Each structure stands twice: as C-alpha cells, then as structure tokens.
Amino acid sequence: MATHKLSLMAGDGIGPEVIAEVTKLVRWIEARGLASFAIEEDLVGGAAYDDHGEAISDAAMERALASDAVMFGSVGGPKWDAVPYSKRPEAGLLRLRKDLGLFANLRPAICYPALADASSLKRELVDGLDLLIVRELTGGVYFGEPKEVVTLENGDKRAVDTQLYTTPEIDRIARVAFELAKLRGKKVASAEKRNVMKTGVLWHEVVSRIQKESYPDIQLEHVLADNCAMQLVRRPKQYDVIVTDNLFGDILSDVAAMLTGSLGMLPSASLGAEDPATGKRKAMYEPVHGSAPDIAGRGVANPIATIASFGMALKYSLGLSDLADSLDGAIADVLASGLRTADVATRGQNAVGTSEMGDAVIAALEKRLA
C-alpha cells in the first residue's frame, strides 16, 4: 500500500480544533487498513510567528513542497493585528499558495437537503444547490506589484495595490473551469468587471476565446462581478461553475457559503499545474473560513468544511475517490440524522461540539463501509 505524505498545518484560532478532526479520521482510515499516511506537522500563521518570527519557516515550506497534499486549518486573529504586513499570519498562507504554484482554487458550495433551513435564504432557493466557484489564486490584486504604502512629502500617505493578469494566467484558470464544467452541468459563468477594469477586459477576451476554440459544447455566460453577487442571493441555482479572479473569488465564495447554511460548511482545494512527467500536482486543502476568533477555544466550531476539504484531498491528490464519495455520503448521513454544530442549528435543535461532530462523521463512514 502506498504511503501518502500529508503535511498538516493547523494554524491559529479554530484551525487546530478542526484539523484535530482530520487527524482522527486519518488514524481511523489507517486502522481500517484503507490507506497509509506519513504525517508531518508544521506551524503556520500567528503560531509560527510567535515561535520564530515568520508566518511560515523555510523548513516548513520545504516539507509542504515535498508532500502529496497539505491540509491547512486557518490563520490570523486580533493578537497579530500590529505585526508588520510581511510577517502577518496571512502572509504564511499567501506564501504557500504562491510558492506551491496553486493557481486553481476550487470552492464547491453544496446545500445538503437537511440544511436547507439553516441557510439565510428561503429553502426553495437553496435546496439542491450544487455550484462550484473556480477562483484564480496566485495572481490579481493579491500579488500584483507595486503593493505599498508610501509617505508623501506633505506627510499624507498613498497606498497602492496592483490588479494584474496576463493571458497565460487567465488561460489556465479558464481551462480548469471548462474541464470541470464538462463533468458537471456544462455551464460556466465568468465574473469580472470589464466595465471599469482593464484586467476585466482581458479576462473577458481570453475566456471567450478559450471557449470558442476548445469548449464549444460548454455554455458560457459573462457576468459583471457585482451582478454575480446579487444573482447568488437572488437565484443561486442558475449557476453551475463560476470562474473568477482572486479577489472576486474570495468575496463571492463567502457569499456562496451562506447559501449552504454556514461558512463552516465550505471546503476548498487549491491545485497547481500537472507535472507532465509524473501526472501529479501540488495541492493544498483548506476550509474557506478563517480562524473565527469569536468562537476559538470553545470546541464549538463546525469541522465539516475541513473534513470535506480532506475529502477533496482523497479525490484530487491521493487517488481515493471512492473513499471521498463515501465520506461525502457520511457527512450527508450525519446531517440527515439531525446532528448540528451551533452555526447550523436551527430553532429547537441541540448543538453538538466539534469533536462530537467529527466522531459522528467517522461512525457514519464506518456504517457506509460495513
């Protein structure tokens, strides 16, 4: 049996609480003889800064680069508000994305039938929702240069971020979106703001060309990103795959999260380009949510986003698609049984904690595989 190299980076706040549930699951999978793992654990974010003054060490980066998959919890929190920008907890996450070349961020928003009443929208708008946001992750305003705050002669300050995209960057993320749409509803909506942004004009041009040249059977719609945000809360089921840039993807995926009931439900996979020699790609898996300082340390966070992110790792990096499907099924079973963490509990439901939810998913998986 192949041993999968898994790098665990729990991070800050609720990160370690939700990653603990993945560790439990990994141990259970091993005990069941389904797969074997070599696990490396590293500090990232504020925890790494407190330990050695950087948001991620070079040694941790090396281990991440050598792993089959990185499982990432979350970073950040008010404790590090005054830390210089380049050492902030979030800088560790951005370095991982950039140095691993993880340009394609897949954020599926699925509303489990049992949770349709936990969404802030009416049940009929979200019941059966299954959309996928494909977010460009290593370009755009997150990484464009210059990025600085300059003090002017008169003492005023000028801050600049640069939104920058090249043709190849748009080309490769568009292809990821079209390829995934082929396996789903065969529809892509491309969201940009070509009415005010040059990057939007280029985005529109490149995505249109790729569709014409290589994906004539996929239906392509162009939508302005602000309208897309509105459509997501108006009639979200009109969408299948949404492809968009780094910043719009960040915002639209938090909107999409609430359609599923909670930010604590949304998993993600961040993938690099396939190495033609090995067929492998670098990959990191993380919940879409952050470190949730308001609930950290209380053992009440919803671990499903992180467990489902591990499911995406099983599927996209570890060649264990059947197990991934069973895990998704186990999550649906647990929710159907009425078990809820506080974020998705509706009136009259008693909420369980992070660890109980993790245990319940494992028990449901055990049943499915029996």
Rule CB under 6 A: choose which of 93, 100, 189, 218 binds ligand IPM.
93
**250: contact with ligand IPM by CB under 6 A:** yes
On whether the CB atoms of residues 246 and 199 are closer than 8 A, the answer is no
Q: Is residue 42 within the footprint of ligand NAD (CB under 6 A)?
A: no
195 marked as part of a ligand binding site = no
Q: Which is nearer to ligand NAD, 345 or 362 (CB)?
A: 345
Q: Which is nearer to ligand IPM, 77 or 303 (CB)?
A: 77
| 254 is an active site residue | yes
Angle at 192 between CA 191 and CA 194, to 5 degrees: 140
**Residue 245 contacts Mn ion per CB under 5 A:** no
Query: How far apart are alpha carbons 16 and 48 in whole angstroms?
Result: 13
**Which CB atom, from 293 or from 319, has the smaller least distance to ligand NAD?**
293
Judge whether 367 counts as a catalytic residue: no
Q: Is 340 in the site for ligand NAD (CB under 6 A)?
A: no
* DSSP characters over 73-138: EE---GGGTTS-GGGSHHHHHHHHHHHTT--EEEEEEE--GGGTTTSSS-HHHHTT-EEEEEEE-S
Q: Which of 42, 68, 240, 250 is catalytic?
A: 250
Q: Is 285 a catalytic residue?
A: no
Q: Tell me if 101 is assigned to a ligand binding site.
A: no
Distance from C-alpha of 278 to C-alpha of 261, rounded to nearest angstrom: 39
Sign of the dihedral defined by the CA atoms of residues 309, 315, 320, 322, in that order = positive
Residue 144 CB, nearest distance to Mn ion (Å)? Answer: 18
CB of 11 to ligand NAD, least distance (A): 6
Considering beta carbons, is residue 302 or 326 the nearer one to ligand NAD?
302
Of 99, 226, 325, 359, the active-site residue reads: 226
Q: Bridge partners of 132?
A: 108, 241
250 binding Mn ion? (CB under 5 A): yes
CA dihedral angle for residue 12, residue 18, residue 20, residue 21, rounded to 10 degrees: -170
Q: Does 288 bind ligand IPM (CB under 6 A)?
A: yes
Burial of 175 (0-12, 13-18, 19+ CB in 10 A): middle
213 binding partner (options Mn ion, ligand NAD, ligand IPM, none; Cβ < 5 to 8 Å by kind): none
User: How many residues make up the chain in this entry?
Assistant: 370
CA 223 to centroid of chain Cα atoms: 22
95 is in an annotated binding site: no
Q: Is 90 in the site for ligand IPM (CB under 6 A)?
A: yes
Q: In angstroms, how far is the first alpha carbon of the chain from the final one?
A: 21
Look up 193 and say whether it is catalytic. yes
Judged by the rule CB under 6 A, the positions of this chain that interact with ligand NAD are: 14, 74-77, 90, 93, 262-264, 286, 289-295, 301-302, 305, 343
Judged by the rule CB under 5 A, the positions of this chain that interact with Mn ion are: 250
Catalytic residue list:
142, 193, 226, 250, 254
Binding residues: 77-90, 97, 107, 135, 226, 250, 254, 290-302
